[in-house]
Structure 1
Amino acid sequence: MTKLRPEDSLLLPPKGDRLPSLPRADGSRADGSRAGVLRWVCTLLFVSALVSTTVMGLRWFRLLEGLEFGAFDHLMRLRPSEKPDKRLLIVAITKQDIDQLGNEYPISDQTLLTTLQTLNAHQPRVIGIDLYREQATGTGWTELTQYLKQNSNQNSNQSDRIIPICVHPYGNHPESGIAPPPGLPALQTGFADATIDPDGVVRRHLLALDPPNHSPCSASYSLSAQLVRHYLKAVGISLKFPTLNQWQFGSTRFNVLESRSGFYQQPALIRGHQILLNYRMYNSLSDIADQVSLTDVLNHQVDSALIQDRIVLIGVTDPTVKDDFSTPYGSKLRGLIFHAQMVSQLLSAVEDHRFLLRFWAFWIEIGWIWLWSVTGGVVIYWIRTPLRRVLATGVLMILLWGISLGFMVIGGVVVPLVPTLLAIVLAGGVLITLKIDPQSHPQ
């Protein structure tokens, strides 16, 4: 073993001194003492936990709702387009159709009966009528109601092929309810109630609810759920409920929204069974499926292949008939097209395994927010100059935005983007204000 010479001792650190610390990204050095590091780590964890709790509290009291709606809509508009759904056919009652029929508003019972008979001759899987028929409209009322009852006869080869709509009363306004055509069982009707967010935009899909007391509408399922249920029944797929909050068609299961889910923190909004509405966009939202006019059907100008084995939806697109709703895409959409979007969403989930939009569980969301707030704190410590801190935080926020879009596009997960962005900024700001990092520990 080689002995050290006295002059060699100059190469060793003085006894009791700490080892030099590693440099930061900007060339400065952080104090490497264990006490300083431990103090900073504890502060970082405490601040990030406090910030995460504060952000979730703001969310609980709906103070972030408007920002979260906007962020969700923004991400929705960035998703890639999808091809139209070939399992649907939309029969649009246009203004030209109404004019040609002598200004029927929107169409008489006799015209509706003729339309149904013409469509049924081509054997559609099921027909949805997005028209109110609680009372007679023009001529043909008796014949129409008899025809609908015939189609509800379980011994008929056209059993349950036609699904009319009704509407439950809204709030404390019993007069706002609309009954279905008389004499039809609840399982042959579907409600057309809309779920509109506080900012007037439709982002949710109402599947089912218990009819309110004294409601003229006895339907428990929405029109879209009824159409899909009857469509899939023909291929041996039935609706099941593995749990109180879970639906199952075949091997496809999905959970309904809880009373507080994601950015929905107003339990009164989540009535019945609801899911997020995963719009299908092609050139526009209206291009969800093939469309023909009522005149085309009445004149037998529709190819049988467009009708046979499909879900057919009949409704009004005449702009003078008020039936428009706002969408996350910044445009308005006819109620008829909304029903088509909802039908397509369910069918695509079951038959094409297209994802449904969903929120994470609460504990995953708060863990995600906490993790990013810690990351923001580390960035603030690692980079010392104000300008570089701002740039690094901006890069971190852009990265989060890209990851959030990726989660939505690839897996249908709606990440808590706004709360996480806020947590990053708050965590960094608090740590800068406290001026606590390993370097601040006394020598």
Structure 2
Amino acid sequence: MPKAKLLTKHHLKFLSFPSAFRSTIFLTCVLVFAVCSIRQSGNLQFLELAVFDLMMRVRGETEPESRITVVGIGESDLTAWQQSTFSDRLLAKLIKKLQEHRPAVIGLNIYREIPQPPGSAELLQQLEAENVIAIERIDQNGEVPAPFNIPPERVGFNHLLLDNDGKVRRNFIALAHGDRSSSEEDFLYSFALQISINYLGAENQLEIEPEFLKLQETIFPNLKANSGGYQLSTSDIVGSQILLNYHSPNIARQLSFAQVLAGDFDPDWIKDRVILIGYTAPSKKDIFSTPFGVEQMPGVAIQAQMIGQILSTVLDGRSLFKFLPQWGEVVWIWFWSYTG
């Protein structure tokens, strides 16, 4: 009989390799299944969104968006005029003053479905200008229409989408109107999109498809329920939405109502620019949480962020956020589970 050979450490390691490999693969699969299941349930969403918020904050300050100027109505303006809501005459006076310096677009981020006399006729006259865009509200709290004399092509909804933690991270661009066919006429456009279309002169260069929105030659892919760190329900992902790529907290140059009326500004800050008018006073409660931290941002400033994202993407080629498909995320998780 042949003599039994002594098993060296090398032989033992070689013989045990298939078993160790199988164990590694098995444990990797278990880990991948566990992570994917927890992620699918939405229990990791808060962590992934926290990483997104951190990414927004660490990018630091950038130069203000030169195409946009915000005219904010603050607490000092309300106090000076002793009005909690500005009269139609004051708004008309403000718009007229701005029009003297030939802005490209004026966006009025103030609801005006009910006249606030005196000066209602004066305001209606100012709102007839082709470069004035007004807002309407469409949300769970009901509808607030735009002033009656403004045609639909100069009206946009200003509804902001809030995540579960109350923060604004999505740019809501368009919404199908009712259950009619999906032609462009059957979509409601956001305030930001209407202003961008008007600024670009792209009235006939918009295409809306189930998977994307195309403005001129730029495609904005729709956010999906599981894009990035999200695990959203189908009811949360209606219409055309993209992840909001914030510019910086100070998105645009800001003037006060008093500065504009006094002429205390450089006319170049108005000429050929997008001018947004809105309340910045905390007492108006038009303030929202953002990825930038505890300090809340006025709604008009968030609209500036959304307009800035659309314009910089179309005109400057600024990148949109891109996401792996679901199978790609599984492969990514498997790779790190195995190598880790």
Fold shared by both chains (TM-score > 0.5): yes
Amino acid at match of 1:359: F
Identity of aligned residues (%): 34
1:13-412 equivalences under 5 Å are 21=10, 31-33=12-14, 35-101=15-81, 103-148=82-127, 150-151=128-129, 159=130, 161-170=131-140, 173=141, 176-211=142-177, 220-233=188-201, 238-241=205-208, 243-267=209-233, 268-281=235-248, 285=249, 287-330=250-293, 331-376=295-340
Shift of 1:19: 7.4
SS of residue matched to 1:32 = helix
Note if contact 1:325-1:333 (Cα within 8 Å) is conserved in structure 2: yes
Amino acid at match of 2:53: D
Aligned partners of 1:113, 1:211: CA distance in 2, in Å?
Answer: 31
Shift of 1:297: 1.5
Shift of 1:164: 0.6
Tell me the matched-pair count: 330
In structure 2, runs of 5+ residues without a counterpart are: 180-185
Structure-1-length-normalised TM-score: 0.69
SS of residue matched to 2:219 = strand
Aligned partners of 2:124, 2:109: CA distance in 1, in Å?
Answer: 16
Structure-2-length-normalised TM-score: 0.89
Shift of 1:253: 2.0
Shift of 1:250: 3.5
Note if contact 1:259-1:265 (Cα within 8 Å) is conserved in structure 2: yes
Q: Aligned pair in 2 of structure 1 residues 185, 266: CA closer, same or farther (>3 Å)?
A: same
Amino acid at match of 1:232: L
Aligned partners of 2:217, 2:6: CA distance in 1, in Å?
Answer: 66
Aligned partners of 2:103, 2:337: CA distance in 1, in Å?
Answer: 54
Aligned partners of 1:251, 1:19: CA distance in 2, in Å?
Answer: 68
Shift of 1:260: 2.9
Note if contact 1:232-1:238 (Cα within 8 Å) is conserved in structure 2: no
Shift of 1:110: 1.2
Aligned partners of 1:274, 1:116: CA distance in 2, in Å?
Answer: 31
Amino acid at match of 2:124: T
Larger Rg: 1
Note if contact 2:213-2:240 (Cα within 8 Å) is conserved in structure 1: no
Note if contact 2:71-2:255 (Cα within 8 Å) is conserved in structure 1: yes
Q: Aligned pair in 2 of structure 1 residues 311, 209: CA closer, same or farther (>3 Å)?
A: same
Aligned partners of 1:212, 1:69: CA distance in 2, in Å?
Answer: 31
Per-residue CA deviation, residues 378-403 of structure 1 (Å, 9 max, x unaligned), is xxxxxxxxxxxxxxxxxxxxxxxxxx
SS of residue matched to 2:18 = helix
Shift of 1:219: 7.3
Note if contact 1:240-1:248 (Cα within 8 Å) is conserved in structure 2: yes
Aligned partners of 1:211, 1:278: CA distance in 2, in Å?
Answer: 26
Aligned partners of 1:289, 1:64: CA distance in 2, in Å?
Answer: 34
Aligned partners of 1:114, 1:275: CA distance in 2, in Å?
Answer: 36
Shift of 1:16: 5.9
Aligned partners of 1:164, 1:178: CA distance in 2, in Å?
Answer: 12
Note if contact 1:191-1:219 (Cα within 8 Å) is conserved in structure 2: no
Note if contact 1:94-1:316 (Cα within 8 Å) is conserved in structure 2: yes
Q: Which has the higher strand share?
A: 2
Aligned partners of 1:321, 1:328: CA distance in 2, in Å?
Answer: 22
Aligned partners of 1:75, 1:18: CA distance in 2, in Å?
Answer: 55
CA RMSD of the aligned region, Å? 2.4
Which moves more between the two structures, 256-265 or 307-316? 256-265
SS of residue matched to 1:195 = coil
In structure 1, runs of 5+ residues without a counterpart are: 1-13, 22-29, 152-158, 377-443
Note if contact 2:212-2:240 (Cα within 8 Å) is conserved in structure 1: no
